[in-house]
Amino acid sequence: MATDTDFHVFDTTLRDGAQREGVSYSVADKLAVARLLDEIGVGFIEGGWPGALPKDTEFFARARTELKLRHAQLVAFGSTRRAGVRVEDDPQVRALLDAETPVVCLVAKSDVRHVREALRTTLEENLAMVHDTVAFLVRHGRRVFLDCEHFFDGYAADRDYGVEVLRTAFAAGAEVGVMCDTNGGMLPMGVGRVVADVRTRVEGRLGIHCQDDTGCAVANTLAAVEAGVTHVQGTANGYGERAGNADTFALVANLVTKMGLPVVPPGCLTELQRVSHAIAELANIAPDEHQPYVGASAFAHKAGLHASAIKVSPELYNHLEPEVVGNDMRILVTEMAGRASVELKGRELGVDLDGHGEVIGRVVDRVKVLEADGWSFEAADASFELLLRAELPDAPPPLFELESYRTTVEHSGDGQVMSEATVKVHVDGQRVISTGEGNGPVNALDNALRQALVSRHPQLADVSLADYKVRILGWKGGTSATTRVLIDTTDGVGEWTTVGVHSNIVEASWHALVDALTYAVRHR
């Protein structure tokens, strides 16, 4: 069976995955994503389409000097030569050579209808385009993989033509023939049957590329592996057009931990969670908390029932030890969870609650009341820790007492937009008035408040807002909408999340802000 040396994990986050709605990488982003993918040990990283997209041409140029990969080989993506053109005269094919990557992945039509209606050429010319382009690139020392677009739909219409395309590619020197479910309509059983049939009819390494339109991209890929393919294509977090692609992280985790295939080098698997979140950040997409293996909730337990049983034997309630993929088991504090959850959560936060039964009871009650008002501590560990510690004996007093604040945003006649905030607080019994400006009302409040506190708490100078999320609650048919604000704060070393809830977005932000600074002073 496959081993890490002869099994291909091929990631196309930077090419096919970049077609996801809302994603737009800078060249620097693309270089950073490639480095991260290399850290999880994928064998191939498809970087883009040189010649077609200027950004991708620049990426390959910079990659030559700036990108040092430990595990992966860089791949340039392109198309077979145009119909009726000599391959050496096709500038798009030339651009593939100029990218100077060890590997080139070519896309070719393998569905007779696409050849005739989209490409508008003959079946024979399409085969010639495949042969000429593969042979040309092989002559120039490239490893060549061929993506057979719409392979499965094509197989349904004509079970021979796609096979012809594969044979032609292999005969011309292609190393891999990839069967692509481009429209994503397949199910695992069907993929397995087609792959098994094709395997008996061609000589050469077969690969699989699945889209998630039936919600089966990962399963379809694994079914193809079970049927004998040894090259799988995926994208980070499944980013891709429409419903997306097969998620590279779920593929790798399943292949290694469920199917026993060591498809990545030792030590790489524990990087999955970190790399997944880092790429989400670069793509500027909020991480999917419910994503298999790497999501913040992937190993989280909510029901009070479970939480209490988990204290007995955790292994009975996880399909895998979270640490294997660099994740951990979080215990959620919610109305459904009871005392056991709070106790476990305290342990997780390093707060020993043994012998503090009454504290646990008060925390559970307090959380229930707050959650009924729209608060949520599931994503705001820092706010929860402050709430928990405030119930402990000899809890410290608040950092300050608020007298009042005022914040203004002004769009003046000359088109300038300015924000300003003034806070009046009492710190250690002393009244402090401080005014700050900012690029928004919350930023201005943040600056004003930190200025009021920084002389007593100099560490606040290094603290800054990392992310800011706003959620309107209960607005459906709602006259009295509530706003929930989550603030991620960083001190350059770590990051923590706090929450605030109020009908006024600024007041909600204020609550989250005060928790953020209090946490920075007390617990960093």
228 binds a copy of itself (CB under 8 A): no
492 binds a copy of itself (CB under 8 A): no
243 binds a copy of itself (CB under 8 A): yes
CB atoms within 10 A of CB 252: 25
Cα 513 from Cα 458, distance rounded (Å): 17
Q: Which of residues 285-344 bind a copy of itself (CB under 8 A)?
A: 289-293, 295, 297-303, 306, 309, 312-313, 316-320, 332, 334-336
Binding mask 409-428 for a copy of itself (x = CB under 8 A): xxxxx---x-x---------
CB of 50 closer than 8 Å to CB of 14: no
In whole angstroms, the minimum distance from the beta carbon of 427 to a copy of itself comes to: 17
Q: Which of residues 244-263 bind a copy of itself (CB under 8 A)?
A: 244, 247, 250, 253-254, 258-259
Instruction: Return the number of the residue (296 or 353) whose C-beta is nearest a copy of itself.
Output: 296
In whole angstroms, the minimum distance from the beta carbon of 293 to a copy of itself comes to: 8
502 binds a copy of itself (CB under 8 A): yes
Cα 16 from Cα 241, distance rounded (Å): 8
Exactly one of 506, 512, 516, 517 binds a copy of itself (CB under 8 A); which one? Answer: 506
223 binds a copy of itself (CB under 8 A): yes
- Which two tokens mark 183? 């429209």
Q: Collapsing DSSP states into helix, strand and coil, what is residue 203? A: coil
Q: Which of residues 20-59 bind a copy of itself (CB under 8 A)?
A: 20-22, 24, 53
**What are the two backbone dihedrals, phi and then psi, of residue 470, each rounded to the nearest 5 degrees?**
-125, 135
Instruction: Return the number of the residue (91 or 215) whose C-beta is nearest a copy of itself.
Output: 215
CB of 513 closer than 8 Å to CB of 423: no
**What are the two backbone dihedrals, phi and then psi, of residue 479, each rounded to the nearest 5 degrees?**
-85, -40
Cα 494 from Cα 512, distance rounded (Å): 17
Give the interface segment with a copy of itself, choosing from 88-96, 114-122, 169-177, 382-390 (CB under 8 A): 114-122
- CA distances from residue 260 to 1, 226, 252, 440, 510 in whole angstroms, order as listed: 10, 12, 11, 52, 50
Q: Can you say whether the dihedral through the CA atoms of 446, 449, 451, 456 is positive or negative?
A: negative
Q: Which of residues 133-192 bind a copy of itself (CB under 8 A)?
A: 150, 153, 183-185, 187-189
Cβ contacts of 362 within 8 Å, gap of 6 or more: 391
Instruction: Return the number of the residue (452 or 506) whose C-beta is nearest a copy of itself.
Output: 506
Torsion, Cα 90 94 95 98, to 10 degrees, reads -170
In whole angstroms, the minimum distance from the beta carbon of 499 to a copy of itself comes to: 12
Give the interface segment with a copy of itself, choosing from 12-20, 169-177, 200-208, 454-462 (CB under 8 A): 12-20
In whole angstroms, the minimum distance from the beta carbon of 203 to a copy of itself comes to: 25
How many residues bind a copy of itself, per CB under 8 A?
114
